[in-house]
Amino acid sequence: MKKMFFYDTTIGKLGIAEENNVLTDLCFSKKNIAFDSILEETILLREAYRQIQEYFARKRQVFDLPLALKGTEFQQKVWQALIEIPFGETRSYGEIAKSIHQPKASRAVGMANHKNPLPIFIPCHRVIGANGKLVGYAGGIEIKKILLNVENLVY
């Protein structure tokens, strides 16, 4: 059974879910609570929250947590490419598409970003438009700006 718990953070309430000792979801509000989960804090969820607090305090650049990434093969490749974007750097959708050897798949990369089940842990906020502009983010552009600012990037 999936377990989910909500935490107050710099960017508002975050819901973090886990199943079988791996993180499965992060959502930006209680509206997104998974129907197949129970509200219960676990050791893993508490650790995920601790690492997020360290991230916001600029004391953590890399998360060290077990993640369960359920998605298509293409989505998995995109999400892995996102994890590889270093703290404090950004990439365009086109650059991600090239990095997974599908240079014409920029839009598909955007769709995979949209389906990212673990934003922040899988840093889709580090993906920007080819023109350097901020574009869509599940938590909204203002939250994306805050996350990039945590990484000393100003938009």
Q: What percent of the chain has pLDDT over 90?
A: 82
The pLDDT score that the predictor gives to residue 32 is 57
Those residues with Cβ within 8 angstroms of residue 131's Cβ, 6 or more apart along the chain or in another chain: none
Tell me the C-alpha to C-alpha distance, in Å, between residue 154 and each of 8, 46, 47, 145: 24, 30, 28, 7
The pLDDT score that the predictor gives to residue 30 is 61
Could you say which of 27, 56, 85 is where a domain stops?
Answer: 56
- Residues 117 and 24 sit within 8 Å (Cβ to Cβ): yes
- Residues 134 and 110 sit within 8 Å (Cβ to Cβ): no
Residue 68 domain flag:
no
- 83 shares a domain with 123: yes
Residue numbers of the domain that contains 117: 73-150
- Catalytic residue from among 14, 105, 124, 150: 124
Q: Is 27 a catalytic residue?
A: no
Give the tens place of pLDDT for each residue, 112-123. 999 999 999 999
- 90 shares a domain with 52: no
Do strands 2-9 and 37-39 pair parallel, antiparallel, or not at all (unpaired)?
A: parallel
Give the span between the Cα atoms of 19 and 25, in whole angstroms: 9
- 131 shares a domain with 84: yes
Q: Say if residue 91's pLDDT is above 90.
A: yes
DSSP 3-state assignment of 73?
Answer: helix
Residue 128 domain flag:
yes
Give the tens place of pLDDT for each residue, 4-60. 999 999 999 999 999 999 999 999 876 656 567 899 999 999 999 999 999 999 999
- 146 shares a domain with 78: yes
Report the run of H or E that residue 82 belongs to, with start and end.
helix 73-83
- 80 shares a domain with 12: no
- 92 shares a domain with 142: yes
- 77 shares a domain with 36: no
The more confidently predicted of residues 139 and 44 is 44
The pLDDT score that the predictor gives to residue 36 is 74
- 92 shares a domain with 137: yes
**Residue 122's beta-bridge partner residues?**
119
- 140 shares a domain with 77: yes
Residue 112 domain flag:
yes
The pLDDT score that the predictor gives to residue 137 is 86
